[in-house]
């Protein structure tokens, strides 16, 4: 355990698996009280158990970030439970692959609702709370999927929206003591990066052919980037998109 975030309260959406879980555990290891949020209680409780096993402090809140009432309740609960809210990692996302003209309206709406509207609703509540309570730091999750990746056009559109939203919100909120940035992961070893029927070895071979680093990234590597953006070491970093992709978009 280190003390970089001792006395801080960090909220992580999508905290039941992958990048969200890795980041929640990293914050807990470094002294923060962590609130993990998502739609399914079981995985969230597992993240809490893992954090507590390592000596950290964590709790879970079931919430759907695409619903305004859920987000308002989430931020209020996180702040009330631990006495404040200093850091938020807006990471919850869903992905459905398919050609732009092949995605149906319900699938489109689901991705926009979680990936983009969810970040917007979270920003509204988090900025309002932080600006009234001495400031804070927010990191959003986008993706290198904003580039022209066949089969990921709809997903990429939502993530491009997150980047644009982040940059505008960052300039608006910094005067109120709220610092906002965005992290854009490349291929990371999570369930979301697996193609239907693909094995981990198959994914490694596919990614290795197109990523200059020659491998899949780890959730912990993205978590390290998020923690840096959230730390005082990045105090002059505002509205930045930090890409963690092994050189895929270099």
Catalytic sites, residue numbers:
155
Region at 18 (left for phi over 0; alpha for psi -120 to 50; beta for the rest): left
Q: Tell me if 104 sits within 8 A of 97, measured CB to CB.
A: no
Distances (CA, A) of 196 to 19, 32, 202, 217: 20, 37, 11, 19
**Burial tier of 172 (Cβ tally within 10 Å: 0-12, 13-18, 19+):** middle
Angle, CA 119 vertex, CA 118 and CA 122 arms, to 5°: 85
Please name which of 143, 165, 160, 166 lies closest in space to residue 248, comparing C-alpha atoms. 143
| DSSP tag of 146 | G
Distances (CA, A) of 9 to 37, 51, 169: 14, 14, 21
Strand partners, 182: 140, 241
């Amino acid at each position: 355990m280190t003390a970089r975030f001792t006395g801080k309260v960090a909220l992580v959406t999508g905290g039941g698996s992958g990048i969200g879980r890795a980041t929640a555990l990293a914050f807990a290891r470094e002294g923060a009280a962590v609130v993990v949020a998502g739609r399914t209680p079981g995985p969230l409780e597992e993240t809490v158990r893992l954090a507590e096993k390592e000596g950290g402090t964590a709790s879970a809140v079931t919430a759907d970030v695409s619903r305004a009432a859920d987000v308002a309740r989430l931020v209020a609960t996180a702040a009330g439970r631990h006495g404040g809210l200093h850091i938020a990692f807006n990471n919850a996302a869903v992905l459905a692959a398919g050609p732009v003209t092949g995605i149906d309206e319900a699938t489109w709406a689901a991705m926009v609702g979680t990936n983009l509207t969810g970040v917007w609703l979270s920003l509204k509540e988090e900025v309002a709370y932080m600006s009234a309570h001495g400031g804070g730091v927010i990191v959003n999750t986008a993706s290198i999927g904003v580039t022209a990746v066949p089969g990921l056009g709809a997903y990429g559109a939502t993530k491009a929206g997150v980047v644009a939203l982040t940059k505008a919100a960052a300039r608006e909120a910094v005067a109120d003591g709220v610092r906002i940035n965005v992290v854009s992961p490349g291929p990371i070893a999570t369930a979301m990066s697996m193609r239907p029927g693909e094995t981990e070895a198959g994914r490694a071979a596919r990614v290795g052919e197109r990523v200059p680093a020659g491998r899949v990234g780890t959730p912990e590597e993205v978590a390290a980037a998020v923690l840096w953006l959230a730390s005082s070491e990045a105090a002059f970093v505002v509205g930045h998109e930090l890409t963690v992709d092994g050189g895929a978009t270099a």
